[in-house]
Amino acid sequence: MIRIAEEVRRAGVRAVALETSVVAQGLPAPHNLDAARNCARAVRERGAVPAFVAVIGGEIVVGASDEELRRLADPARKPAKAGSRDLAALCASGADAGTTVSATCAIAAQAGLRVFATGGIGGVHRRVAPGDPVDVSSDLLEMSRRPVCVVCAGPKAILDVPATAEALETLGVPVIGFRTSELPAFYTEGSGVVLEHRVEDAAEMAKLLRAHFYDLGLGTGVILAVPPPSLLPREEIEAAIAAALAEARTRRLPGKEVTPFLLGRVAEQTAGRSVRANLLLLENNAGVAAEVAVALAS
């Protein structure tokens, strides 16, 4: 049920898992395919092998081809968004789907990959309206039980970042700053959440991962939080999110529609600068992940 591309199989730990929900749902065309190709190039330039994870025709693929990425990017095909809980149903129905952080973590671990690059992780959502149930992404649970290093720019800015950091601590998932002692918040360098541990380069991170995964066998994932290369003012982002939340409240949007709605509104209110920042941080994270994978494999 899992097809691993031969190049990825040969690379082993030197392969970097890449999610595909950003292609299927996360970014508008042509940015979605541009982002994927730029990430792949960044990985290859640093000596690692890109491994896009997806569901194609009901088959889980680790190392999706450019043709398969174009298939996911085609809105006429209406690809699904696959969390880890959706994988069995999507495989059974023969569907196409882009994988989220949770699904990519689960699949990468099964395929023997140890490093995964994404933009930002899911987490504890801000409540759209008082009395709403707490919405917690399955990303957190999967990272707590899959031995994969997730290289990201922290939690998505639309989340409750301090609550997400607390949840990760409760789940035993280490969060390591990459040349920073503050948890990034996707578009911004800092969130106010202090990190206890940091590394200065890929070799230091690889040493930490060897201790975590192999020497101690702790079994959880590890987050490497990388500050975004293109910063937006924190006050501007918070104002845009507050306005988007207020609109979502009046529209009474169902849970699954809230995140894409908020991200779309933030893009509008920042005149597209948030989309540009997203593209840059995706490529940057992929490059850092490749350096870590190469160091881990050496």
How many separate domains does the chain show? 1
Q: What is the pTM of this model?
A: 0.95
pLDDT digit string (tens) for 1-50? 799 999 999 999 999 999 999 999 888 889 999 999 999 999 999 999 99
Encode pLDDT of 39-55 as tens digits: 999 999 999 999 999 99
Per the domain annotation, does 251 fall within a domain?
no
- Max distance between CA atoms of the chain, in angstroms, equals 54
Judged on CB neighbours under 10 Å (0-12, 13-18, 19+), 230 is middle
In a domain, 242, yes or no: no
State pLDDT tens for residues 180-212: 999 999 988 889 999 999 999 999 999 999 999
Q: How far is CA 168 from CA 137, 192, 228, 288, in A?
A: 11, 16, 20, 22
Task: Show which residues are catalytic.
Answer: 19, 156
The sign of the dihedral angle between the CA atoms of 37, 117, 114, 214 is positive
Per-residue pLDDT tens over the stretch 98-112: 999 999 999 999 999
Look at residue 256 in the predicted model and tell me its pLDDT: 67
Question: Cis (ω within 30 of 0) for the bond into 30?
Answer: yes
- Residue 205 covered by a domain: yes
Q: Is residue 29 part of a domain?
A: yes
| Residue 258 forms part of a structural domain | no
All residues at 6 or more sequence positions from 169 whose CB lies less than 8 Å from its CB, including other chains: none
Q: Is residue 143 in a domain? A: yes
**Which one, of 127, 177, 159, 120, lies nearest residue 143 by Cα?**
120
pLDDT over threshold 80, residue 174 = yes
> Does residue 264 sit within a domain?
no
Q: What is the CATH number of the domain that holds 180?
A: 3.40.1790.10
For residue 191, the enclosing domain spans 2-125+133-231+273-297
